């Protein structure tokens, strides 16, 4: 999150038009900014940043503020695409929920599944500091368990993507 407060909804709506594809477009031409051009650029972290009055802000936070006049402390991209700032792809999320909505890395190639030294598969899912883990003989059993646990524990924030 940016340490400075976001520009007001009024200022944002004076500076930008919202494009339903999730972009803010400059309303007026000024210096290198041309009216109708998509504002900002994508940074190495995958997030689009937009400069307003010398401060760079994450575009998703500006889009949310542009629409609602307020922005929660933490936002999540539903489809996990950091540059998809369509308003319907943005939702309030606490830090745990944001983590649940990420692809997970593991040597097994499946989220929340690790291969044990004995060749079995261990599913590990966390939920508010609690760890749920179970060991299975087959990868398919571990995947089924992990998928079910994520759906039950993480609800709308459950992500099942494989690497």
100-138 burial, b at 16+ Cβ within 10 Å, e below that, comes to bbeebeeebebbbbbbeeeeebbbbbbeeeeebeeebee
pLDDT of residue 3: 60
**What SS3 state is found at 60?**
helix
Per-residue pLDDT of the chain (163 residues), as tens digits, is 446 899 999 999 999 999 999 999 999 988 888 999 999 999 999 999 999 999 999 999 999 999 999 999 889 888 878 899 999 999 888 777 666 556 666 666 777 788 889 989 898 887 877 888 899 999 889 889 888 888 887 777 777 664 3
Element (DSSP H or E) covering residue 61: helix 59-68
């Amino acid at each position: 999150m940016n340490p400075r407060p976001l520009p007001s909804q009024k200022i944002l709506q004076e500076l930008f038009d919202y494009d339903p594809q999730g972009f803010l477009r400059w309303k007026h031409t000024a210096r290198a900014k041309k009216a109708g051009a998509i504002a900002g650029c994508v940074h190495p972290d995958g997030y689009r940043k937009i400069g307003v009055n010398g401060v760079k802000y994450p575009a998703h936070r500006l889009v949310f503020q542009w629409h609602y006049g307020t922005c929660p402390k933490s936002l999540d991209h539903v489809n996990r695409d950091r540059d998809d700032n369509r308003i319907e792809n943005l939702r309030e999320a606490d830090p745990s929920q944001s983590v649940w909505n990420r692809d997970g890395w593991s040597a097994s190639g499946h989220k929340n599944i690790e291969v044990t030294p004995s060749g079995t598969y261990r599913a590990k899912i966390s939920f508010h500091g609690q760890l749920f883990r179970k060991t299975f003989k087959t990868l398919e059993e571990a995947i089924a368990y992990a998928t079910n646990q994520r759906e039950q524990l993480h609800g709308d924030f459950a992500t099942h993507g494989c690497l």
